[in-house]
Amino acid sequence: MVKIYSFSTDRKHCYYPNINVESNDLKRLNEILMPYTDMTTRIPNLKTAIIDKQEHPIGYRLVKKKDLSSLGLRGNTNILYYPINEWFYLSQKEILEGPQDWGGIAILRNLGSARWLQNYMLDKHSTETRLFKTAFKDIIHLKERSVKTNAILMYEEIFL
């Protein structure tokens, strides 16, 4: 079961359905969330994977190569350090619903966005990164290219 707190269809519209969705229904996300909107914008579905005999939504997490820490983009001073093959949870007080950049862990929804961010970090910040296929728990906020979540499991490194 995945809880969906909020989502955006564009930069102007934010919705707060606060619903629970079965993991296997994330493949029908557009159908599930459309009744909560006043738009006809298509909401991309999420991929899932079976991990430890449970189905979880998945995406991609980029971390600094030297210490597996968060990237610190947009002036974020709350740097987190992530383990590999182990669940990492935020405390309830660290979670903030809505589209803002803080209040959760960002997961990229597709490899194209991950590759773009990997190149950006190297070109603009001279920072080498590692990319992981990542399972996650609840959806604090869903955007077109990313998901803000409360817990992640970086379980498979990807080399592009």
Asked if residue 38 is part of any domain, the answer here is no
Output the pLDDT for position 154.
Answer: 98
Asked if residue 58 is part of any domain, the answer here is yes
Asked if residue 105 is part of any domain, the answer here is yes
**Per-residue pLDDT for 63 more than 90?**
yes
Output the pLDDT for position 11.
Answer: 73
Mean pLDDT score, 103-117:
93
Read off the CATH number of the domain in which 126 is found: 3.20.170
- Number of folded domains in the chain? 1
Output the pLDDT for position 39.
Answer: 67
| 118 vs 14, higher pLDDT | 118
Task: Give me the half-sphere count of Cα atoms (radius 13 Å) on the Cβ side of residue 123.
Answer: 6
Distance from C-alpha of 131 to C-alpha of 114, rounded to nearest angstrom = 8
- Provide, rounded to the nearest whole percent, the portion of the chain with pLDDT above 70: 98
- Lowest mean pLDDT segment, chosen from 28-42, 82-96, 118-132: 28-42
Asked if residue 31 is part of any domain, the answer here is no
Give the global pTM: 0.90
Asked if residue 36 is part of any domain, the answer here is no
Q: Which helix (H) or strand (E) segment is 55 a member of?
A: strand 54-64
Parent domain of 119: 47-158
For 4, the 3-state DSSP assignment is strand
Output the pLDDT for position 40.
Answer: 67
DSSP lists the bridge partners of residue 108 as: 60, 146
Mean pLDDT score, 123-134:
96
- Residues 96, 104, 48: CA angle, nearest 5 degrees: 120
Residue 87 to residues 47, 126, 138: CA-CA distances in angstroms? 19, 29, 13
Output the pLDDT for position 129.
Answer: 96
Asked if residue 69 is part of any domain, the answer here is yes
Name the band, by pLDDT with cuts 50, 70 and 90, for residue 43.
confident
Output the pLDDT for position 37.
Answer: 83
Q: Over the chain, what is the mean pLDDT? A: 90
For 67, the 3-state DSSP assignment is coil
The position carrying tokens 């919705």 is 15
Asked if residue 51 is part of any domain, the answer here is yes
Asked if residue 66 is part of any domain, the answer here is yes
Output the pLDDT for position 35.
Answer: 87
**Per-residue pLDDT for 74 more than 80?**
no
